[in-house]
Structure 1
Amino acid sequence: MEGMAEKSWEILEGACHSCKKCRLWEMRTNVVIGKGSRNADILFIGEGPGQQEDLQGVPFVGPAGQLLDKMLASVGLSLEDAYIANVVKCRPPGNRDPHDDEKEACLNYLRYQLMLIQPKIIVCLGRIAATTIIDPEFRITRQRGQWFERKGYHIIATYHPSALLRDATKKRPAWEDMQAIRAKWDELKEHGKRI
């Protein structure tokens, strides 16, 4: 069984590295697939790689990633408990928002990751992830911190760490969201739902 999972990850990685479904492949340095535990109970989803992520091929390695690491640590979580991916796997030029056709081209890769990881909790980091995963009409300022349940997944959205770097007033609500995520994880563990 372990070998099958590894083979499936190899298939995903090969497909992502050879992908030319949208124009983003033309400018990428590296495809950024994800990092963390492949058996995670919590899947964090951002919007797309930034400059540092594109250069290193790893998500959330810049200042926003360092802040996310601190946020996880503040509630006793780490990448041993979580996996981090993005809606799009290639960097949009100038860190612009991914276009709808780019998100659509990449969505099956994210679905494949979801199938491989089988998390219980999905955390949308920011507006782009929330409007892609939860609802196209999602409003991050009004709906962050609310739980949704779909297909057995517990889903929540919070501010993207880069938004917290631009606006410190969002840090407290984001920290409260992280506490709620930790509490939900503890609740699921207590009720024996995989973990």
Structure 2
Amino acid sequence: MSDRTDTPDGWVRELDARQRAMLAEMGVKVWVPAPPRAPAASPEPATSAVAAPAAAATPAPAGRSPAPAGRSPAAVRPPQAPAPAPAPMPAPAAPPSPARSDIATLDWPALREAVADCRACGLCESRRNTVFGVGHTEADWMIVGEAPGEQEDRQGEPFVGPAGQLLDAMLRACGRDRQAMDARGVFIANVLKCRPPANRNPAPEEVVQCEPFLSRQVALVRPKLIIAMGRFAVQSLLKTTEPIGRLRGRLHRYEGVPVIVTYHPAYLLRTPIDKAKAWADLCLAMEIDR
């Protein structure tokens, strides 16, 4: 008899036909277990009853993974790329600024509008208001300052705040008034029409872009005299790099108009000792205007 295995079933399977016959003769009944059944296949989901034969009939192409179980190949869709985001709406275009050559032909309303719409340099991005100018548009005297400060930017008017108050006092001492619309009146403007950020000095390219506006204002006012106040106003009008101290006390010209050079009121507030020099400059202006 062969060696039996560890289980009864295994021991019975080891018996051959002769040994079974001998056991039968001895009256020993041998129970032979039925061979184990293969587990029944689990039922397919209802959704695959039709799709499974079709999937089995058509072999998957080489190099491609078969469709997941329970889904027909038609139901497997390739991933779709996300739809592109809608393009942003373009910002409305700014109104075109007049060409520099066209500024010389503008009248007062058109010139004021051109200054308000100007975007020729970066100062337009930070300004609150443009500072066009104020006063009598046919005045004998024209005051030209440098650039608007914080208060001028807020109010849209040149020479306001403490420096403007000092200028008004200087004008009254000369028999002039910025509010007068007669022979006592003045027209006040700046070289720049927009405030430089943090009251920094005007940049040369900013002066160049604003120069046609000031030139046209002078042409429209037709003053008998220009008083240039401050280094940047003097250098812009006279096209020089000479300091004010060397230019004071004598007559200059801008486009044929006499020009007197003096200190800016803001400088005089910081350096009161030079107020006497500024008064001498105003006396020269009154002498020339006789």
> Fold match, TM over 0.5?
yes
Report which of the two has the higher share of strand: 1
Corresponding position: 1:112 with 2:211: no
| Structure 1 match to 2:244 | 140
Higher relative contact order (CA 8 A, sep 6+): 1
Quote the RMSD (CA, aligned, Å). 1.2
CA contact (8 A) 1:45 1:86 kept: yes
Amino acid in structure 1 at the alignment position of 2:220: L
Give distance in 2, aligned partners of 1:142 and 1:75. 24
| Structure 2 match to 1:124 | 228
Matches within 5 A, 1:1-195: 8-79=107-178, 80=180, 81-186=185-290
CA contact (8 A) 1:120 1:152 kept: no
Structure 1 counterpart SS, 2:159:
coil
What is the deviation of 1:151? 4.0
Give distance in 2, aligned partners of 1:149 and 1:98. 22
Deviations 1:30-73 (A, max 9, x none): 00010110001111110110000000000001111100000011
Structure 1 counterpart SS, 2:107:
helix
Amino acid in structure 1 at the alignment position of 2:234: A
> Gapped runs of 5+ residues in structure 2?
1-105
What is the deviation of 1:150? 4.7
Name whichever of 139-148 and 34-43 sits farther off. 139-148
Amino acid in structure 2 at the alignment position of 1:51: E
Amino acid in structure 1 at the alignment position of 2:128: T
Deviations 1:118-146 (A, max 9, x none): 11111110110001101322210222232
Give distance in 2, aligned partners of 1:83 and 1:174. 19
What is the deviation of 1:149? 3.3
Give distance in 1, aligned partners of 2:223 and 2:128. 29
Distance verdict in 2 for CA 1:151–1:92, change over 3 Å: closer
Distance verdict in 2 for CA 1:71–1:105, change over 3 Å: same
After TM superposition, where is structure 1 displaced by more than 6 Å over at least 4 residues in a row? none
Corresponding residue pairs, total: 180
Report % sequence identity.
Answer: 43
CA contact (8 A) 1:144 1:159 kept: no
Give distance in 2, aligned partners of 1:95 and 1:184. 33
Structure with max Cα Rg: 2
Give distance in 2, aligned partners of 1:183 and 1:39. 20
Report which of the two has the higher share of helix: 1
Amino acid in structure 1 at the alignment position of 2:192: V
